[in-house]
Amino acid sequence: MPAPEPQKDTPYYDPLRPLGIFLSIFGLSVLPAVLIEAEPLERYMNLAVGLVILALGLGFWIVGHKRAKAAREKKGL
């Protein structure tokens, strides 16, 4: 019985990529809350939370991209 041929057209999927995209968009949507009229502490908190969520999202996105790229190279795609 012949060995099955590897599927070269199937892209590698890493769940960190869509999660990173979602968190990045969510972080960007939180940042404009800094412009809302509020106490200075509340504005700083909005800025800090928005930047943390954005940084996490970008980090997940980059890690997911690197994992998918490494898996594609390992498969020979």
pLDDT digits (tens, 9 = 90+) for 12-59: 778 899 999 999 999 999 999 999 898 999 999 999 999 999 999 999
Q: What is the pLDDT of residue 9?
A: 57
Task: Select from 76, 59, 54, 57 the least CA-distant residue to 10.
Answer: 76
Q: What is the reported pTM?
A: 0.77
Match 């009229």 to its residue by tokens. Answer: 37
Please tell me the predicted confidence (pLDDT) of residue 26. 95
Distance CA 20, CA 2 (A): 41
Among 27, 15, 14, residue whose Cα is nearest residue 55: 27
pLDDT at residue 54 in the model? 96
The pLDDT of residue 22:
96
Residue 7 has pLDDT above 70, yes or no: no
